[in-house]
Amino acid sequence: MIDIGVNLSNPRFAKDIEETLDRAQQAGLEKLILTGTSIDESRAVVELCENHSQDFPKMLYATAGIHPHDASTLNRESIGMLRDIAAKPQVVAIGEMGLDFNRNFSTPAEQEKAFEAQLELAVECQLPVFLHERDAAERQLQILRHYRDHLVDAVTHCFTGSKQALFGYLDLNMHIGITGWVCDEKRGQELQQLVSNIPLERLMVETDAPYLLPKTMLEPPKGKRNEPAFLPWVIKGVADYRKESIEQITRATRNNALRFFRLDR
């Protein structure tokens, strides 16, 4: 199994990173993609990959990007810094990037500027893109259509959007990342109805840990912190609403992630 979205630099993991990685391995996870959400966090996840490479060889990889919440921090030097981080061998995608018109911690104009700058960097570096989007599918798709032919590949991570948004992303030949949102009997109802529409070769899975703990867990951990070891619950949640077995989805999502991020087997 491969978890394509882990916020391992989150302070909630600070005291037990090695134990978290041990539990992930014991649960059958081969590789984790650690999410970079700002210049500082992108550096931090690369450093985590480097610091734990000896004990967990070929397990940890990273993305480098500026989340739309932090788009206002983009300045003249930002893209140069991201370019330097992206040159690290652990970095396998540009992102987390995109648009979030739900909270607007940065203005829409700031978000679009940061988004396009990072898309251009991904084209330059020939790295796939790791995308965030909330309440902004129409505008995000407009921008992506302009760049898609030049992008190596793209995944919409933690997809929770509408049918129209899903088919818009699939029409652009993009991958879709599914989290424990699909396990939520209340918030996840729309996703449960949509997940069967994702072609198996375009499907990937993620925990988005420490967030989005699968609500179907029989014995949720104290503190309700999500972690990569719980990815099997996400896969089971996906399988509950598709025709394929858990084993088929596990194998396909693993192979999709290996191919998408160009990872060593």
Range of the domain at 82: 2-261
Residues 87-142: pLDDT tens digits?
A: 999 999 999 999 999 988 999 999 999 999 999 999 999 999 999 999 999 999 99
Count of domains for the chain = 1
Q: Is the pLDDT of residue 265 over 90?
A: no
CATH number of the domain within which 69 lies:
3.20.20.140
Is pTM, for the whole model, over 0.95?
Answer: yes
CA–CA separation, 230 vs 232, rounded Å?
5
Q: Is the pLDDT of residue 30 over 80?
A: yes
pLDDT at 264: 76
pLDDT at 179: 98
pLDDT at 164: 98
Mean pLDDT estimate for the chain:
97
Residues 213-247: pLDDT tens digits?
A: 999 999 999 899 999 999 999 999 999 999 999 99
Sheet holding 91-100, edge to edge: 2-6, 31-34, 60-64, 91-100, 129-134, 154-156, 175-178, 203-205
pLDDT at 103: 87
**Looking at the chain, which runs of residues are DSSP E strands?**
2-6, 31-34, 60-64, 91-100, 129-134, 154-156, 175-178, 203-205
Residues 150-199: pLDDT tens digits?
A: 999 999 999 999 999 999 999 999 999 999 999 999 999 999 999 999 99
Q: Average pLDDT for residues 42-65, to the nearest whole number?
A: 98
